[in-house]
């Protein structure tokens, strides 16, 4: 159990029964509460004000059993090692060893894909991630080009990220600065339609920097009904973050 010699502050972390509990102040909160952040694999203890953080910490300690149980329900980390099978935009992809630099190749034996190359341990895993990122950037560029043509907007710059709390972000254009979209590379591990929904979502922000009715009309115009995609990300998103090392 963590002990603080100073008053608790927004963002402080506690070790409760071996679990990470982060303290947060949310001024719109009406009482202390706990919630599980599935992406970051941590529990958030929220208080309405800084003065309530001590109460939030005590509440978290009283709910240690609940915290342990919720974290135990999260998917176990999936190491990127030879023999692992993952999904690359919905296509089965096997990780393998080979006497050449890591690359993505067709696998005629199973009708899927293979990421194969040399390396051991963390070196191997990072090489696999670099290959996945290259493929992710290629596919997201194609998706973004198609959606921008449909919306009749200029193509933004496209980059990748590994944010825990979001799947994409859009920055509007400004004088001398083009619009920019960033995608989580981990969406390459999701079905194609899920990644395409995120691409449509971010491209719609090029026209509407909000989540109002017109924004969702643009998204539905591009990919149809959005609920199944949003539900999939809510239910399965933590699994995407279970692949590879946390610092990848």
| Residue-range domain boundaries for the chain | 13-72, 85-240
Q: Over 80: is that where the pLDDT of 140 sits? A: yes
**Biggest alpha carbon distance in the chain?**
62
Tell me the CATH number of domain 85-240, given options 3.40.50.1000, 3.30.2010.10, 3.40.50.720, 3.30.70.100. 3.30.2010.10
CA dist 211 and 204 (Å) reads 9
113 close to 105: Cβ distance less than 8 angstroms: yes
How many CB atoms neighbour CB 3 within 10 A?
Answer: 5
Q: What is the mean pLDDT of the chain?
A: 91
- Helices (runs of H) and strands (runs of E) counted in the chain: 6, 11
- Give the confidence band of 105 by pLDDT, cuts at 50, 70, 90: very high
pLDDT in tens, 142-155: 999 999 999 999 99
DSSP tag of 171 = E
Query: Tens of pLDDT along 159-213?
Result: 999 987 799 999 999 888 999 999 999 999 999 999 999 999 999 999 999 999 9
Burial class (CB in 10 A: 0-12, 13-18, 19+), 95: buried
pLDDT of residue 5: 58
The string of pLDDT tens digits covering residues 5-63 is 578 888 899 998 888 899 999 988 889 999 888 767 789 999 999 999 999 999 999 99
Tell me the mean pLDDT in the region 63-89.
Answer: 90
Nearest to 240 by CA among 192, 184, 193, 202: 184
Q: Is the pLDDT of residue 218 over 70?
A: yes
- Residue of 133, 128, 130 lying closest to 118 (CA atoms): 128
């Amino acid at each position: 159990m963590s002990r603080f010699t100073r008053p608790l502050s927004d963002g402080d972390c506690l070790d409760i029964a071996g679990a990470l509990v982060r303290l947060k102040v949310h001024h719109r909160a009406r009482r202390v509460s706990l919630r599980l952040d599935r992406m970051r694999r941590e529990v958030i203890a929220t208080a309405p004000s800084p003065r309530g953080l001590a109460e939030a910490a005590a509440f978290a300690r009283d709910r240690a059993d609940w915290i342990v149980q919720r974290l135990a329900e999260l998917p176990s980390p999936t190491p990127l090692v030879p023999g692992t099978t993952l999904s690359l935009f919905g296509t089965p992809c096997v990780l393998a060893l080979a006497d050449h630099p890591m690359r993505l190749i067709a696998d005629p034996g199973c009708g899927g894909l293979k990421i194969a190359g040399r390396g051991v341990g963390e070196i191997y895993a990072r090489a696999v991630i670099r290959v996945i990122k290259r493929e992710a950037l290629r596919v997201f560029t194609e998706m973004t080009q198609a959606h921008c043509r449909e919306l009749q907007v200029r193509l933004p710059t496209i980059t990748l990220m590994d944010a825990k709390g979001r799947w994409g972000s859009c920055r509007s254009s400004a004088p001398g600065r083009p619009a920019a979209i960033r995608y989580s590379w981990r969406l390459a591990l999701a079905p194609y339609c899920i990644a395409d929904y995120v691409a449509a979502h971010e491209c719609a922000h090029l026209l509407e920097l909000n989540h109002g009715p017109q924004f969702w009309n643009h998204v539905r115009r591009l990919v149809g009904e959005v609920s199944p995609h949003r539900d999939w990300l809510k239910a399965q998103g933590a699994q995407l973050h279970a692949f590879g090392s946390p610092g990848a």
